[in-house]
Structure 1
Amino acid sequence: MQSTLHDYQQLLADIKQRVRAAQYRALQAVNQEQMQLYWELGRLIAERQHQQGWGKSVVETLARDLQAEFVGVSGFSAQNLWYMRQFYLEYSASEILQPLVGEISWAKHLLILSKCKDPQERLFYTLQTRRNNWTKAVLLHQLKAQAYQKTLLAQHNFSATLPAAQQAPATLALKDEYLFDFLELSAEHSEYELEQALLGNVRRFLSEMGGDFTFIGNQYRLELEGNEYFVDLLLFHRELQCLVAVELKIDEFRPEYAGKMNFYLSLLNAQVRKPHEQPSIGIIICQSKQRTVVEFALRDINKPIGVATYTYTDTLPQELRPFFPSNEELVRRLEAVTTALKGPA
């Protein structure tokens, strides 16, 4: 009897999984059909406007006629028709964006279209939305937090310490600055208070860190020769298949923080890492940093470490503008990021 019940529960779980997968595929198909329709409507309006000089009144008339014909079907307002035209004109002109038309919903496309003007930036958010199944609210938060810029600015030594296959996804796992605007902390707070506040908002913390992070523990105990050491936060990155040690600092980055993290990673690799997992990665999150100091501190470290800062506001500091990559470096970083984003969804 118990065996029969167990077999039934397995069958039920399998059927539920298949139903959910079928529902997801159906929703994807519906979205792709809708996006194809909007793309074609945008193309027709753009062509008529170019060939016959269609203006505002013609599009408004078209909107009224479509709404009268398809009662109860949303999406045919004059404003939305103009958005379709803009979407078609801007995305059809880009080789990297045109193939992504059916990847995310119309509402999310419009959000990216309105907030981003650079094709590479639009590519980043479109693929990240698809990859992490971002809701519209999460996408808006990431746009406000300038996730694209902060990914390009991130400081790490991954190119020197990770295999080529891991470098691109590891780059996506790190931001130059994390936005903890969900925390209620005074200007003067301790590392303990910061850690406890993050633990109390662990879902939002993991969302800000990135879609593939999972939480393992805080003050994770390591032991060597009778001495105890504690990692502030221990996470796991699903795609990278590795442990991620996070150290929280409420002051400016110091070079010795990198040496301490290097030591922690050695212990994690020797004592905690599973045989099938990749080498551990470290992230040091400080209140501030001098970029040149970080660069030299990581130069001869042999473990993969990134150094970031945290803030409560969603504005990229003006003083970071000079550190944006050159055109050549920008292309190289974007290629690495795009390669990672175009991996398995």
Structure 2
Amino acid sequence: MNEVEKVSQDIYGEIRQSIIHVQHRVQQAVNTGMVQIYWEIGQQLDKACDGKQDEYGKGLLHQVSAKLTAEFGKGYSYANLKNMRQFYRCFPNRYALRSDLSWTHYRMLMRVADSKAREFYAEECAAAGWSSRELERQITTFAYQRTVSQQKTTERRPQTATDKGMAPYRDFIRDPYVLEFLELKPSPEFYERDIEQGIIEHLQQFLLELGRGFSFVARQKRISLDGDDFYIDLVFYNYILKCFVLIDLKLGKVKHQDIGQMQMYVNYYKANMRNEGDNEPIGIVLCAEKNEAVVKYTMGSDNSTHIYASKYMPYMPTEEELKKELRLQELPLAKEE
């Protein structure tokens, strides 16, 4: 490669990055502008229909739609105007709208009837940079209801993290975890290492399923105690909680020995692996089946150690299966008007 070719290649690379950067900023500006104008339209329509009968509102939206469509095109159909009105009603505070979220994101969020769940998905989506497809997956698998802090259970759970003002550990633990992306096929030759290998091969999807703030640290982390070696299946670090997260995988039902082993791992990390400023580690026993009584009585009344037993589902469950697993009586999705 001669000098001209080398310089042209370098300049091409720099120009290419500049173009991509500007394209991204333009696209983001367009998305933000679209969200803002749709909110304004929704606000105006809702105020015009406020206190009026349903037939009045339908007629008004049909007429406004016809006029806007004639001038601006098909983006202002009756169905779209109805969505814009619903958008305003779901998100009445204009200043709380997130520039990171597109209109597609907001349309999905509008399907969530529970306002707390809706806010959870919006916050997590913006913070973690979820695509619209990932947001849809999180909603349809009830990620909010699978978060331990939202569940009513008799199992012993630590309520808060170690530092004042910090988010509770329970806000970052799910039960169950949905691992359909591993594409595991049931087999009598199925081993824990198959799950572990699947997680490593689909690490990005697993990190999304874990939630916000997780980063991968190690696989089969060896610790030695007086000449005996032990191996922790997976180690992560959560930069929001500022702590290590240790995960052990179990094929069958969780046993008291599994929890005791995790207790040892957590105690070891607490004593030997924490850096200055780190909080106490979390231990998660990820199992195919749970026995709440075993977890409860193994842990006893000890609230000083953050250990959880969570079930994993290696397939995409149906809504009915998830409702049964989470003891939900009603779907947390909004009904179409």
TM-aligned CA deviation for residue 57 of structure 1 = 4.6
1:302 equivalent to 2:304? Answer yes
How far apart are the structure 1 equivalents of 2:156 and 2:105?
31
Secondary structure of residue in 2 paired with 1:251:
strand
Q: Could you say which structure has the higher helix fraction?
A: 1
What is the TM-score of this pair, normalised by structure 2? 0.78
Secondary structure of residue in 2 paired with 1:221:
strand
After superposition, the Cα gap between the structure-2 partners of 1:323 and 1:156, relative to the gap in structure 1 and judged at 3 Å, is farther
TM-aligned CA deviation for residue 219 of structure 1 = 0.7
How far apart are the structure 2 equivalents of 1:223 and 1:255?
22
Aligned to 1:77: 77
How far apart are the structure 2 equivalents of 1:166 and 1:101?
24
Aligned to 2:163: 163
User: Any conservation in 1 of the 2:167–2:241 contact (CA below 8 Å)?
Assistant: no
Aligned to 1:63: 65
How far apart are the structure 1 equivalents of 2:325 and 2:121?
24
After superposition, the Cα gap between the structure-2 partners of 1:304 and 1:24, relative to the gap in structure 1 and judged at 3 Å, is farther
Aligned to 2:108: 111
How far apart are the structure 2 equivalents of 1:232 and 1:50?
57
- Aligned pairs (5 A) from 1:1-345: 30-50=30-50, 54-70=56-72, 75-92=75-92, 100-103=96-99, 104-114=101-111, 116-151=112-147, 152-153=150-151, 157-159=157-159, 162-168=162-168, 170-183=169-182, 184-186=184-186, 188=188, 189-298=190-299, 299-300=301-302, 302-311=304-313, 312-314=315-317, 315-318=321-324, 320-321=326-327
How far apart are the structure 2 equivalents of 1:302 and 1:162?
9
TM-aligned CA deviation for residue 76 of structure 1 = 2.0
Letter in 2 for 1:124: F
Aligned to 1:5: none
How far apart are the structure 2 equivalents of 1:250 and 1:165?
37
Letter in 1 for 2:310: A
Between 38-47 and 229-238, the greater mean CA deviation after superposition: 38-47
Q: What is the CA RMSD across the aligned residues, in angstroms?
A: 3.2
User: Any conservation in 2 of the 1:63–1:77 contact (CA below 8 Å)?
Assistant: yes
User: Any conservation in 2 of the 1:285–1:308 contact (CA below 8 Å)?
Assistant: yes
Q: How many residues get paired?
A: 302
Structure 1 regions of 5+ residues with no counterpart?
1-11, 325-345
After superposition, the Cα gap between the structure-2 partners of 1:230 and 1:41, relative to the gap in structure 1 and judged at 3 Å, is same
Aligned to 2:7: none
Cα-to-partner distance string for 1:121-179 (whole Å, 9 max, x where unaligned): 111111111121111011011011110111123866332773343452x2232101100
Identity among equivalent pairs (%): 28
